[in-house]
Chain A
Amino acid sequence: MKQLLMGNEAIGLAAIQAGVNLVSGYPGTPSTEVLETVAKQNDGSIYVEWSTNEKSALEVAAGAAIAGARVMVTMKQVGLNVASDPLMSLAYLGIKGAMVVVVADDPGPISSQTEQDTRHFAEYAKLPVFDPSSPEEAYRMIRDAFDLSQKYHTPVLFRPTTRVCHACASVEVKEEKIEHKPQGFVKDAKWVIFPRLTYQNHIQIEKNLRLIAEDFNQYDGNQITETAPNTKKGVACGGISYAYVKEALNRAQTHVRLLKIGTPHPFPEELALQFMEGLYEILVVEELDPVIEKALLLVAGKHHIKINILGKLDGSMKNAGENSLESVLTAIEDFLELPKTKYEPIELPPLPVRPPVLCVGCPHRASFYAVKKAMKGQKAVFCGDIGCYTLGNAQPLDMVDTCLCMGAGITIAQGLQHIEPDAVHFAFIGDSTFFHTGIPGVINAVYNQTDLVLVILDNSTTAMTGHQPHPGTGKTMMNTVSPKIDLEKLLLALGVQSVKKVNPFDLTNAITCVKEAAQTKGVAAIIFEAPCISLFKPEKKYQISDSCTSCQRCIKELGCPAISKDSISNKVVIDQSLCYGCSLCAQICPAKAIVIGGDKSC
């Protein structure tokens, strides 16, 4: 039966059918829906959790895998940086059941802070990696990944990219499901990593990688999918670029010898040799790093093959950003010396710009505004972090001066403070990010007696990635309720000087608290508590009355999407269908012109 599935749903469903026993992960675009699919379709036999971070997720899964379970871990590419410590070691230790680590890469990048390539990581960590080119292939490959992992007792990386994760396709779904019963943990010295064990296992790993490469030579994810007897040119590609190449060849109504690589590491060398046979020039089409290109260069060098290999290294293909149908078509036309498809540029009139902004009624707007007001005229630096609140950098708030990676705002602020002690340093961090990697940074500041104002934006959810529960919400992916972690008690226990819990929509009080915190020596924390607007329905709406003087302060200082100046009447108005009734604008209007409206119907 064919079913419309998103790439991530296909991966989740295939994992269930491959008999997965435990799934853990940390949300991150474009990987999030994999774990959510398993949780949604779970008949109760699979243990599923959002872990506090990727390192915890991988370690939880490692424990289950050495007890013989089939496990899957999900994260985005930068999450792998956090999980790399346990994964690097686990590659040496090995596992008993099967472990597939799904790491979604994000060429572009579309919603990430790096364009790192997990295929490279696989090589570095000595792990096999699968790179599906479509949702259908992702569905088929997951089972192969589990089987390979079990066969060689090694974790296996599975790396789809955004255009596979978030694309939907009609996928032929199987009914049958493997039942995998974990053997249980058997005590053995082999589960304790020591230098000597590492050395011995290293020898075995290198042997296994050669065996896996041989398996991969035969694997149907790696194929010479097209041949063209009369050309001496070939194209090699992998991932979504395979789709673009196929499409481009169809459009140009031509054929070449075409190598598709579905497992970039260990590289299927024999297949590559077959592919190169008799060719004098190859174009490599891939995204992110030149992984296939370098592998082919290596094979050519090793076997003394005289061949031109074009790609990112010689500048034939761009080395940043994602490929597109158009860019690949142009590259193929150039390479095969075909007539060029022309795009007649259309001159468009000015179109409305729609940049990402904080939502209407978003509590982060109130928090940023309170800090901005409190620090007006003083030297202050605002360190941001990863989450919706990074959008606080936009005008008119302009309240994010730095952003690096998960949890880094707290520690970056400390470094800044040591060099510029006369400024007040703020670290803004969301609740989910705080649990992820924020806590060690707070301990660092307390221990090293660094002045810092920590602002926790507690909106009771993980908003950016689509509202996953976390330790502060008390809900789990198994639909159980656990005790909420109390941020205030936690901070006090860490030795933070002062901790204030404030509703950011109580503006006067919020400003006072920020001023006090800025005067405090050591670490002062403010917890701005107000739920994300996606968690409730508005109870009231605000309107602008006739006493409005059109000073536009509400527009210029807040940037709430519901407030605008009507182009016809020239009046400042609040869109009643948008307003979330947060009251922030009413509190700052000098003419007291913003009042609760009567119309609740929208």
Chain B
Amino acid sequence: MLNLILAGVGGQGTVLASKLLAQAAINRGLDVRTAETIGMAQRGGSVTSHVRIGQDLYSPLVALDTADIILGMEPSEALRCLPYLKKGGSIVVSSKFIKPFTASLPGSTYEENLIWQCLGDHCKNISVIDGGKICDACGSTKVLNIALLGAASNLRQLNLTLVDLEKAVQEILPQKIHSINLQALNLGAQSARKGETAL
């Protein structure tokens, strides 16, 4: 059984990334359950997707302390989901912060280095991905989610290969954006392999 949490901000494609993972797992003949917690916010709110792969699954939600992997589209959102991560779990996270819409209003201060520190204190297997760089290389800000999936494919626990994910991308996304997303997937995988931006 594999439990994943995908954490991001509304508009980053968190839910789509969970769909791709689920499809890749189904293609492998595995059973899947997924769920989202989105709340009322349309854009800019926290979005958490739960993905569970394997036999004998009942709940669509992952329990606290049981996630094998957290995929963070944004560092503070990854940290928000830390209570889900089990001991020895892994985190793949994009390095770029997204300022909340309310950052300019009083009462919403946070410190980026404290967030990194806390992530590092609680998880030993973190790959930090320079998502911005990959998006630049692909020429679209929209492929960050896909780049992270690529990076995650290097994790042994995931049990899904880059090829599995490529196939899911081709099945689910419209044809005209296949090449750009396949590129993001591969760049994500490479950057994580190189570990170029490890903490």
Contact = CB atoms under 8 A, between A and B. Distances in A.
Given A242-B58, A349-B111, A353-B102, A247 B63 contact: yes
A564 B59 contact: no
Contacts of A563: 104
A44 interface: no
Interface string A555-571: 11001010111010000
A601 to B, nearest CB: 11
B23 A349 contact: no
* Most chain B CB neighbours (cut-off 10 Å) among A134, A243, A349, A555: A349
Interface in A344-367: 345-346, 348-357, 359-360
A602 B135 CA distance: 13
Contacts of B58: 134, 242-244, 246-247, 250
Nearest to B56: A250
A324 interface: yes
B63 A326 contact: yes
Contacts of B198: none
A348 B117 CA distance: 10
- Determine the main DSSP class of A at the interface with B: loop
Interface in B68-98: 76, 79-80, 82-83, 98
A394 to B, nearest CB: 9
A204 interface: no
Contacts, number: 152
Contacts of B122: 346
Interface stretch (A166-174, A311-319, A438-446): A166-174
Nearest to A573: B104
Nearest to B45: A354
B110 to A, nearest CB: 5
Given A168-B33, A353-B102, A555-B104, A163 B60 contact: yes
Contacts of A565: 103-104
A196 B111 CA distance: 73
B59 A351 contact: no
A536 interface: no
B22 A346 contact: no
A111 interface: yes
B59 A244 contact: yes
Interface string A455-475: 000000001000000000000
Contact of A170 (B26, B45, B56, B83): B26
* Most chain B CB neighbours (cut-off 10 Å) among A134, A168, A354, A359: A354
Contact of B99 (A325, A345, A352): A352
Contacts of A134: 58, 60
B22 A329 contact: no
Contacts of A111: 39-40
A247 B61 CA distance: 10
B45 to A, nearest CB: 5
A345 B64 CA distance: 11
A118 to B, nearest CB: 20
B59 A355 contact: no
Given A169-B33, A242-B58, 18 more contacts: A111-B40, A134-B58, A168-B60, A169-B31, A169-B32, A170-B26, A246-B59, A250-B58, A329-B63, A346-B118, A348-B82, A351-B110, A352-B99, A354-B46, A355-B45, A396-B105, A559-B102, A567-B103
Interface of B: 9, 19, 22-23, 26, 30-36, 39-46, 56, 58-65, 76, 79-80, 82-83, 98-105, 107-111, 114-115, 117-118, 122, 141
